[in-house]
Amino acid sequence: MHKVYLRHYYNKNMKSIYEHELPFPNLLVFDVDGVIVHRGTKIKEDGKTLTIDLKFPPREYITLAKNLLPYTNVAISSGRSMLTLKTMFADLVGEEYNGNVFIMQAENGGRISWGADEISAGHNPEKLRSLSKLRNELRKIIDSRILGFEPKETILTIHCAERVSKIEEIVNQDVHYMIWNGEAYDIGDPNITKGTGLLRIKEEFRKRQNKIVTAMAIGDRQNDIALLEKADYSVSADPNVLKNCDFYVPLDSELPGVTLAEKLLENYQRRV
Q: What is the DSSP string of 142-167?
A: --TTEEEEEP-SSSEEEEESS--HHH
Q: What share of the chain is helix, strand, coil (3-state, %, to 5)?
A: 30, 25, 40
- Confidence class of residue 4 from pLDDT cuts 50, 70 and 90? very low
255 residue type, one letter: L
pLDDT of residue 118: 92
* Lowest-confidence pick of 14-18, 60-64, 191-195, 267-271: 14-18
pLDDT of residue 263: 92
DSSP 232: S
E strand spans, 130-246: 146-150, 156-160, 177-180, 184-188, 215-219, 233-236
Q: Taking the chain, what is the end-to-end CA distance rounded to the nearest angstrom? A: 27
pLDDT of residue 10: 61
Distance CA 29, CA 215 (A): 7
| Residues recorded for the chain | 272
pLDDT of residue 18: 62
Render pLDDT for 80-111 as a digit per residue (tens, 0 to 9): 999 999 999 999 999 999 999 999 999 999 99
- Count of helices and strands (H, E) across the chain: 7, 16
Q: What is the mean pLDDT of the chain?
A: 91
- Confidence class of residue 5 from pLDDT cuts 50, 70 and 90? very low
Beta carbons of 27 and 215 less than 8 angstroms apart:
yes
Beta carbons of 128 and 192 less than 8 angstroms apart:
no
Distance CA 227, CA 126 (A): 24
Non-local CB neighbours of 268 within 8 Å, separated by 6+ positions: 24, 68, 71, 72
